[in-house]
C-alpha cells in the first residue's frame, strides 16, 4: 500500500511569524510517522504489502511569505531570479527541518526538491517526474517533497503547491491512501467537521481561503483538487495523524461520487 501524506505548512510552522518552524508540532508529527513504521516492506502501514510513505509539506510561514513579497502565485510568475531563489531557499530550509525531524526519529527520510525536476507548460499543466520517488520507496526510503517554485513556459517561475504535488503523485504512484494533515480537524461547516464530501457545490459556501498568508488558495483549493482524484483522501488535524497512519479515516473524507 502506498500512502501520500501532506503535512500542512500551517502545522509544521507558525504561520503568523515569518520563517518560524513549529518545532513541537513538527516533532509530534515526526513521532507519529516513526511510530507507524511507514517504510516499504512487510510490516509497513496499512497492509502487509505496503510500498511505503511519501511525505509532502506545504509552505507555511516560509514559502508563502516570500511568494507574496515577490508577487508570485501558482498562476502569476516572475523572471526575477533573486525572487525565485528567495522562495526556493526558504522552502529548502523548511524541508531541511522536516527531513531532520524525521531522521531524528529514525525515519529514513530523503529530500526531493521540485524546482530541480518539475515544470509547467504555458497552459499551466504541471509535469512532476516520479521515478526517483518510486525508486526511493522501493529502497525503503521516505521521500519528502515540498511546495516550491518551478519553471513555467512564458511565466518565468510559478508556485507549485504541496496540494498539487499530492494529487500528481497520488495519480502517478497509484496511491492507495491520501492524507492532508492541517491545523483544522477536518473541513468545517459552522464549526462542525463534515464527514464526507462528494461534490464541491455541496460545500462551496463553507469553504474559504486560508486565514494566514497563503498564495495557493486554502481549503477550497484543497477540496477541489482532492475531488479530482480516484484515491479517497482524508483531511484531518494533527491529533488524528496517528489514527490516519494506522489505517483509519479521521476528519473529512473527500471522494467524488462515481
Ligand X SMILES: C=C(C)CCOP(=O)(O)O
Q: Which residues bind ligand ATP (CB under 6 A)?
A: 8-11, 58-60, 162, 182-184, 187-188, 206-208, 210-212, 214, 218-219
DSSP state of 194: P
Nearer to ligand ATP, 64 or 177 (CB): 64
The HSE-up count of residue 83 (CA atoms within 13 Å, CB side) is: 20
59 binds ligand X (CB under 6 A): yes
CA distance 102 to 100: 5
**CB under 6 A: which stretch of 98-106, 154-162, 175-183, 185-193 binds ligand X?**
154-162
Q: Which of 199, 114, 200 shows the shortest CA–CA distance to 160?
A: 114
Q: How are beta strands 2-7 and 177-181 bridged, if at all? A: parallel
d(CA 100, CA 86): 21
Of 21 and 44, CB closest to ligand ATP: 21
Task: Write down the least CB distance from residue 122 to ligand ATP, Å.
Answer: 25
- Is residue 83 at the binding interface for ligand X, with CB under 6 A as the rule? no
Instruction: Select 143 or 162, whichever has its Cβ closest to ligand ATP.
Output: 162
Cα–Cα separations (whole angstroms), residue 243 to 32, 114, 126, 181:
9, 29, 32, 11
Could you list the residues known to form a binding site for ATP, using ranges: 6-10, 60, 218, 222
> Binding to ligand X by residue 98, rule CB under 6 A?
no
Using the rule CB under 6 A, which residue among 22, 51, 134, 163 binds ligand X?
Answer: 163
Least separation in angstroms between residue 162's CB and ligand X is 3
- Site size toward ligand X (CB under 6 A) is 17
Residue 67 neighbours by CB distance under 10 Å: 29
Q: Among 96-104, 119-127, 130-138, 142-150, which window interacts with ligand X (CB under 6 A)?
A: 142-150
CA distances from 155 to 72, 76, 139, 152 (A): 10, 7, 37, 5
Query: β-strand 188-189 against 142-146: which pairing, if any?
Result: unpaired
Least spacing, CB of residue 199 vs ligand X, in Å: 23
Sole window of 160-168, 184-192, 200-208, 230-238 interacting with ligand X (rule: CB under 6 A): 160-168
Interacting stretch for ligand X, rule CB under 6 A, among 118-126, 143-151, 174-182, 200-208? Answer: 143-151
Q: Quick one: 199 exposed, middle or buried, by C-beta within 10 A (0-12, 13-18, 19+)?
A: exposed
The binder of 148, among ligand X, ligand ATP, none, by C-beta within 5 to 8 A per type, is ligand X
Query: What does the block give as the cell for 8?
Result: 500542512
Q: Which residues pair with 142 in a beta bridge?
A: 109
For the bound state, the minimum distance from the C-beta of residue 185 to ligand X, rounded and expressed in Å, comes to 19
Binding footprint of ligand X on the chain (CB under 6 A) = 9, 58-59, 63-64, 67, 87, 91, 147-149, 159, 161-163, 215-216
Amino acid at each position: 500500500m502506498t500512502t501520500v501524506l501532506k503535512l500542512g505548512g500551517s502545522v509544521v510552522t507558525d504561520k503568523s511569524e515569518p520563517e518560524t518552524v513549529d518545532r513541537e508540532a513538527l516533532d509530534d508529527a515526526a513521532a507519529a510517522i516513526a511510530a507507524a513504521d511507514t517504510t516499504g516492506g512487510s510490516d509497513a502501514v496499512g497492509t502487509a504489502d505496503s510500498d511505503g510513505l511519501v511525505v509532502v509539506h506545504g509552505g507555511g510561514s516560509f514559502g508563502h511569505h516570500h511568494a507574496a513579497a515577490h508577487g508570485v502565485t501558482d498562476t502569476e510568475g516572475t523572471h526575477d531570479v533573486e525572487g525565485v531563489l528567495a522562495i526556493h531557499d526558504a522552502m529548502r530550509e523548511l524541508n531541511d527541518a522536516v527531513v531532520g525531524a524525521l531522521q531524528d526519529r529514525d525515519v529514513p527520510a530523503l529530500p526531493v526538491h521540485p524546482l530541480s525536476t518539475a515544470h509547467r507548460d504555458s497552459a499551466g499543466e504541471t509535469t512532476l517526474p516520479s521515478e526517483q520517488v518510486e525508486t526511493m520507496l522501493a529502497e525503503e526510503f521516505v521521500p519528502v517533497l515540498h511546495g516550491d517554485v518551478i519553471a513555467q513556459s512564458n511565466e518565468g517561475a510559478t508556485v507549485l503547491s504541496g496540494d498539487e504535488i499530492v494529487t500528481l503523485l497520488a495519480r502517478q504512484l497509484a496511491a492507495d491512501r491520501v492524507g492532508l494533515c492541517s491545523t483544522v480537524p477536518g473541513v468545517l461547516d459552522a464549526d462542525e467537521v463534515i464527514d464526507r464530501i462528494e461534490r464541491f457545490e455541496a460545500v462551496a459556501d463553507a469553504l474559504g481561503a486560508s486565514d494566514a498568508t497563503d498564495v495557493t488558495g486554502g481549503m477550497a483549493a484543497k477540496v477541489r483538487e482532492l475531488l479530482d482524484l480516484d484515491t479517497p483522501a482524508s483531511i484531518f488535524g494533527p491529533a488524528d495523524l496517528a489514527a490516519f497512519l494506522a489505517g483509519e479515516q479521521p476528519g473529512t473524507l473527500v471522494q467524488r461520487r462515481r
